[in-house]
Structure 1
Amino acid sequence: MYLFQKLSVVIPAYNEEKTIKSVLTKLSTVELIENIQMELLVVNDCSKDNTEKEVDSFIKENPSVDIKYFKHEVNKGKGAALHTGIKNATGQYLIVQDADLEYDPQEFNILIKPITDGHADIVYGSRFMGGNAHRILFFWHTIGNKLLTFLSNMFSNLNLTDMETCYKLFRTDLIQSLALKEKRFGFEPEVTAKISKIKGIRIYEVGVSYYGRTYEEGKKINWKDGFRALYCIVKYGLMD
């Protein structure tokens, strides 16, 4: 039994100078249930703007925050940044927090409770099950997300409502046990396919809020990533 428990928050960042400090500040104010502590792992995927400067400024201004900083010397993709963060996580639990403001870390407790209550090993935060707020944006993105979730469920035999969600809270030992390959946005279908094959895995889903961004505001995923996700669903769904 651990004397204390810790949530590792992996934050992949690429050209997020406008929001990264706000995200870190918001994370530093979150009070977790069960006296769970938090560590922040920022992975700068070779940003070309002042992302690193903003992170350095936050670290200097908040010496009491448990934060680790990693930097890729070449741009490798979001998935690769997540691999770096996952590898270096030391908490018993792990979640991904995008470096924008699309998801609210104040809702971490909603995701972690099924695990600490002993019901779940992994909890998905669904944008389609409710939540306090949901920004109205792209119709075809929503249709695309639901189609990819449907196809993913066909191969995994799960009944998720939002496979592509950023908010997936894992037991760290489980996520670290997977041999993850995808370097970009294929991370979501790959990790879903691989966790679905773990014998006895307990996956839950809870509703979360979603404050989406437009492309003008910095959203990066595009139609090519959708086709890659489709490829990954089939590839890892058929793989042993």
Structure 2
Amino acid sequence: MKRLSIIIPAYNEENTISLILDRINEVKLIRNIEKEVIIVNDCSKDNTEAAIQQYMNNKENLTINYFKYIKHDVNQGKGAAIHTGIAQATGDYLLVQDADLEYDPGEYNTLLKPIVLGSADVVYGSRFMGGNPHRILFFWHSIGNRVLTFLSNMMSNLNLTDMETGYKVFRTAIIQRIYLHEKRFGFEPEVTQKISMIPGIRIYEVGISYYGRTFAEGKKIGWKDGFRAIYCIVKYGLFNNKMFVEKNRKINSQQVRV
């Protein structure tokens, strides 16, 4: 493994985007793995773009080997931003990093350990296992996450503890071949159902910390997304009639700045 692609979907994250980039920059990956950062600005209405441009223009003391900045002309949703980032990734593996500081880049090496040992194709970072710090927030949100994970496991025949986690690491060659449809938060249940159907795929789970936000602090996911997740679990678990993209598909580069 030579390069890790880090996809950052960003929508109205002017207050935290520079901070998360600083934290990524501070991380030294095991075995001198290179870092490729792909920021997908999903048509933010605030000063997210200006903050990103300022950071990219200041290249002193950066440990990030490659930068890509992509802007959607219209807001499409977190899932759509992730799709764009996946299409542009050149690393051997890729992960999704939210821009809101809920997940700690300092734990990248924990996520990568099963991969560099040659054991895993996919690694999920679980908020519900291990002894790492977790912010105490909403009871019903935690119950909802566990219910969605239980339903997902029933359909996929996996034994995950946290299907909805924002930290998922994929072998790039695999995830780029999977047809992904969901444009919003349905990405998590869709991709989980689809990777579970790949023969011989090796999926691991490791414990991570979680620094959650309240809605007042900018959290965007709501109860409607929970119902959509149930729909996606059933849809892609039982009626998944399109798994892979065409082998020679042309990847669209939407205003890519390197």
Query: In structure 2, what is the equivalent of residue 108 of structure 1?
Result: 108
Residue ranges of structure 2 left out of the alignment (5+ in a row): 242-258
Letter in 2 for 1:73: D
SS in 2 for 1:57: helix
Query: In structure 2, what is the equivalent of residue 29 of structure 1?
Result: 26
Query: In structure 1, what is the equivalent of residue 206 of structure 2?
Result: 206
Letter in 2 for 1:232: C
Paired residues for 1:180-199 under 5 Å: 180-199=180-199
Paired residues for 1:128-139 under 5 Å: 128-139=128-139
SS in 1 for 2:68: strand
What is the aligned-residue identity percentage? 68
Deviations 1:110-167 (A, max 9, x none): 0111011011110000000024310000100000000000000000000000000000
Letter in 1 for 2:14: E
Query: In structure 2, what is the equivalent of residue 86 of structure 1?
Result: 86
Paired residues for 1:49-60 under 5 Å: 49-60=46-57
Structure 1 pair 194/200, CA: closer, same or farther in 2 (3 Å)?
Answer: same
Paired residues for 1:197-236 under 5 Å: 197-236=197-236
1:17 pairs with 2:14: yes
- Shift of residue 60 of structure 1? 1.1
Query: In structure 2, what is the equivalent of residue 74 of structure 1?
Result: 74
Paired residues for 1:149-160 under 5 Å: 149-160=149-160
Query: In structure 2, what is the equivalent of residue 142 of structure 1?
Result: 142
Residue ranges of structure 1 left out of the alignment (5+ in a row): none
Residues in 1 aligned to 2:128 and 2:157: alpha-carbon distance in whole angstroms: 19
Give the alignment partner of residue 40 of structure 1, picking from 21, 24, 37: 37
How many residues are aligned here? 237
Letter in 2 for 1:152: S
Letter in 2 for 1:10: I
Choose 62-71 or 76-85, whichever is displaced more. 62-71
- RMSD of the alignment, in Å? 0.9
Query: In structure 1, what is the equivalent of residue 256 of structure 2?
Result: none
Choose 129-138 or 173-182, whichever is displaced more. 129-138
SS in 2 for 1:166: coil
Any runs of at least 4 consecutive aligned residues in structure 1 with deviations exceeding 6 A, and if so which?
A: none
- Shift of residue 190 of structure 1? 0.2
TM-score when scaled to structure 1?
0.97
SS in 2 for 1:16: coil
